[in-house]
Amino acid sequence: MSRVVITGLGIISAIGDNVNQNREMLIQGVSGISSLQFCDTRYSGLRPCGEIKHTIPSLKEKLQATEPGVTRTSLLALHAFQEACGNAKLQLSDIASPDTALIGASTVGGMCLTDELYHDANTKEEGSPYLSSYDCASVNLYLQQRYGMKGIINTINTACSSSANAIMYGARLLQQGLAKRAIVGGADSLAKFTINGFNALHILSPEICTPFDQDRKGLNLGEGAAFLVLEREEEVKDKTVYAILSGYGNSNDAYHPSSLSDNGDGPQLSMQRALETADLSPLQISFINAHGTGTENNDLSESTAMIRLFGAPPPFVSSKANTGHTLGAAGAIEAVFSILNLYHQEIYPSLQFKTPIETTLLTPVQEYRPASLQHVMSNSFGFGGNCSSLIFSRLI
Amino acid sequence: MYIHQHTCISAQETFENINLDIIHPPVGNKLVAKEPVYKGIPPGILRRMGKAVRMGAGAGLPIIENYRNINGIIIGTANGGMEDCIKFLNQIIDYEEGMLTPGNFVQSTPNAIAAQIGLMATNKGYNITHVHRGLSFENALLDAFMMLKTNPEASYLVGTVDEISAYNYNIDYLDGWYKSELHPGLSLYDTGSPGSIAGEGAAMFLVSSNRKNAIAQIRDIQTIHTTDHAVLKEMLREMLHKNALHTGDIDLLISGENGDIRLLPYYTEVTRIFNNTTAVVRYKHLSGEFPTSSAIATWLACGSSLPAHLFQSGYTGAAAKNIMIYNNYKGLQHSFILIGKSFGS
């Protein structure tokens, strides 16, 4: 089976509008978590988030997105999509080709328009311009329409692991000859809906989150989008290859609708399966970008799973205190970070950590450092026990 | 890819005591699912389930009872638990973001269906939810197809759920996708007006690479986003060619025609590609229109024989060998599913 390589990256998050800005902020250890400015909710001062400090009109203008019914989620997706396609030197004809797949993830879709949705769902009056923009698929359908894409298009929603599964699905399309290239990733924007949902579950932190810390108080939500261009190795010619997507694993924890098992069965299985598809042993993993949301439940379950699989886990970080938890975009955003780790042979610090969890005693890397990395794992775990792990490898 | 078991909860008698000769007409422009008594689900858990999760688990668990060692659960749903989703949204607005209970929020995420089935079956295998609106089922099938290519010994539960909630009905109604009323006595297909009628349901399939004792074979799945009739027809011709079939080899076309005058030309064009040796079946007057209704068509294709009243043309009473399903969701998302019923065993 031919190897799947990454030839393009695009990202927008609370720490930057493009790949270079994100990398710079990661190196400097800057957190993008702050009080909400643009998302209208009574929790704006109470639950800090990783908000992208651009208004919808400014995004529309920058992207020349004048179509009616475009949502913030679609705008963020378009922003990252354009960067990734440009980075991979894709022509418009390449993007539209029947050989190009688009696999995107979203969990919020157009539900960021809480008030419009409330109106359209409950009243018989004339609808808003967003009637066909609420579902998760609307984001990718917008990109499909804008670029006249004729290949396989799909939208995946497995909650917080959605875009890791989108990356996996795209890679499998390439390996099975169903596409020549796949633009894969995810997008989610901050919404009153998710802020209230996670708040009702009592897992939103009142401060900047502290992943893997004994005294962690929950997660911060974030927003963003990231896309990767995947191509088969034999077809990339003289393009820059950032990394190989060498392994992927998906599992279900089958324990509880909204929390992970204490022994981390699901996370352990997804990491194990990723190692199997990559044909690697645990010892060969140089570094992990953990899911590390900063909730009591996730960080304990993930730590336990890492110890079960690795014994002494390799160096690891969580980037959630940088960007917030971007839900359906998280897997893709952290895939970009993992690829930057590999490509630049460096580790970005995990922020906000003070004290290891008593029972697991794991300590994330807390300072920037150059590092010799060969295989990097990225974890994403979601509600419904949906666990996914990806492995990226350095091209040698 | 072969289908070994299939279940369906719909507005008709499609679950357990299957009887397609009884026809339940739409009520108030909606074809609401006839939900069975869910025997396999403990009452405490059943009470907390939203309708989408309930129908999905209800249709999926009888298959899992027979196939306990499946390697994963692959679900397609455009909206998942829309009713719970908007209930939660309404609480947010009505109580001005006060203290809310998270139950509706957790049930509203589309992956809750695959998750709930995985949880009840303690299945730690592959678990995924495709939500690409009118192509959610097709992407789920394609996913299973790829999984079986790499794991030939495996088997998967593949299926779909979508529900009519008061809210998504309202949104799609405002957007012009449902008729304002359906005259009694007038067939859905003869209205000559835009819009269709709303439907809902769940269909589940056990798929594997094992040909022996299979009910049907999914030979190919093709999807495209277009409004160009020529592109669509070309895709169908290429698909037939790729599968070494002539139009005359397809003895049954299951058409997703839904009474929306705006979509009729697509169905007419596709039907015209075939000649009169291909019978045509329509089913949306029984299922209603919803994003994953092509799964109902696939369930129908798995049946041993279809009653004469489903046929628009070409009914012979003989069992079909090669079946093509064509569906078009809202004029943009098109799919062809090729099903074989004659493959030896």
Q: Name the residue among A114, A152, A385 with its Cβ closest to that of B92.
A: A114
pLDDT at B186 over 90: no
- Which residues of chain B does A165 touch, with a Cβ-Cβ cutoff of 8 Å? 128
Domain carrying residue A269:
245-393
B226 inside 8 A of chain A by CB: yes
Please report the residues numbered 160 through 189 in chain B whose beta carbons come closer than 8 angstroms to any beta carbon of chain A: 166-168, 170-172, 174-175
B-chain residue closest to A277, CA distance: B150
Q: Domains in chain B, please, with CATH? A: 2-208 (3.40.47.10), 216-340 (3.40.47.10)
Please compute the mean of the pLDDT values over residues B1-22 and round it to a whole number: 97
pLDDT at B167 over 90: no
In a domain, A279, yes or no: yes
- Which residues of chain B does A124 touch, with a Cβ-Cβ cutoff of 8 Å? 170, 174
- Which residues of chain B does A385 touch, with a Cβ-Cβ cutoff of 8 Å? 115, 118-119, 127
Per-residue model confidence (pLDDT) at position A263? 95
User: What region, left, alpha or beta, does residue A237 occupy, with left being phi > 0 and alpha being psi -120 to 50 degrees?
Assistant: left
Mutation target for B interface from A4, A73, A125, A136: give the one with most B CBs within 10 A: A136
Tokens of A190: 């901050």
Per-residue model confidence (pLDDT) at position A26? 98
pLDDT digits (tens, 9 = 90+) for B317-338: 889 999 999 999 999 999 999 9
- Which residues of chain A does B93 touch, with a Cβ-Cβ cutoff of 8 Å? 114-115, 118
Tokens of A372: 């010799």
pLDDT digits (tens, 9 = 90+) for B187-225: 999 999 999 999 999 999 999 999 999 999 999 999 999
Per-residue model confidence (pLDDT) at position B345? 55
Tokens of A33: 């978590």
Q: Name the residue among B135, B170, B231 with its Cβ closest to that of A122.
A: B170
B48 inside 8 A of chain A by CB: no
> Do A214 and A155 have their domain in common?
yes
Say whether B224 and A150 touch across the interface (CB within 8 A).
Answer: yes
Nearest to A294 by CA among A234, A204, A374, A366: A204
> Do A318 and A338 have their domain in common?
yes
- Which residues of chain A does B221 touch, with a Cβ-Cβ cutoff of 8 Å? none
Q: Name the residue among B105, B126, B223 with its Cβ closest to that of A152.
A: B223
> Do A170 and A82 have their domain in common?
yes
- Which residues of chain B does A193 touch, with a Cβ-Cβ cutoff of 8 Å? 88-89, 92
Distance of residue A272 Cα from the nearest chain B Cα, in angstroms: 12
Mutation target for A interface from B91, B133, B168, B242: give the one with most A CBs within 10 A: B133
B-chain residue closest to A96, CA distance: B225
Q: Name the residue among B146, B174, B332 with its Cβ closest to that of A176.
A: B146
Say whether B109 and A159 touch across the interface (CB within 8 A).
Answer: yes
User: What average pLDDT values come out for chain A (396 residues) when binned by 10 residues?
Assistant: 93 98 98 95 94 97 95 98 98 98 97 90 90 96 98 98 98 97 98 95 97 98 98 94 98 94 97 98 98 98 98 98 98 98 98 98 98 98 96 94
Per-residue model confidence (pLDDT) at position B305? 84
> Do A308 and A387 have their domain in common?
yes
In a domain, A240, yes or no: no
Among the three residues A235, A263, A278, which one is the final residue of a domain in this structure? A235
> Do A305 and A252 have their domain in common?
yes
> Do A116 and A69 have their domain in common?
yes
> Do A65 and A173 have their domain in common?
yes
Sign, CA torsion B44/B50/B53/B55? positive
Per-residue model confidence (pLDDT) at position A123? 87
> Do A77 and A215 have their domain in common?
yes
Distance of residue B116 Cα from the nearest chain A Cα, in angstroms: 7
- Which residues of chain A does B168 touch, with a Cβ-Cβ cutoff of 8 Å? 121
> Do A154 and A301 have their domain in common?
no
Per-residue model confidence (pLDDT) at position B182? 74
Distance of residue A158 Cα from the nearest chain B Cα, in angstroms: 5
Per-residue model confidence (pLDDT) at position A388? 98
Nearest to B252 by CA among B292, B312, B205: B312
In a domain, A178, yes or no: yes
> Do A260 and A382 have their domain in common?
yes
Mutation target for A interface from B75, B89, B163, B335: give the one with most A CBs within 10 A: B89
- Which residues of chain B does A201 touch, with a Cβ-Cβ cutoff of 8 Å? 102, 105-106
- Which residues of chain B does A382 touch, with a Cβ-Cβ cutoff of 8 Å? 111
Tokens of B226: 């277009």
Task: Give the CATH number of the domain where residue A349 resides.
Answer: 3.40.47.10
B105 inside 8 A of chain A by CB: yes
> Do A295 and A362 have their domain in common?
yes
> Do A82 and A137 have their domain in common?
yes
Q: What is the DSSP pairing of strand B30-31 with strand B198-199?
A: parallel
Mutation target for A interface from B172, B174, B175, B224: give the one with most A CBs within 10 A: B174
B119 inside 8 A of chain A by CB: yes
Distance of residue B137 Cα from the nearest chain A Cα, in angstroms: 11
Distance CA A392, CA A6 (A): 9
| ipTM of the complex model | 0.98
B143 inside 8 A of chain A by CB: yes
Distance of residue B184 Cα from the nearest chain A Cα, in angstroms: 24
Domains held by chain A: number: 2
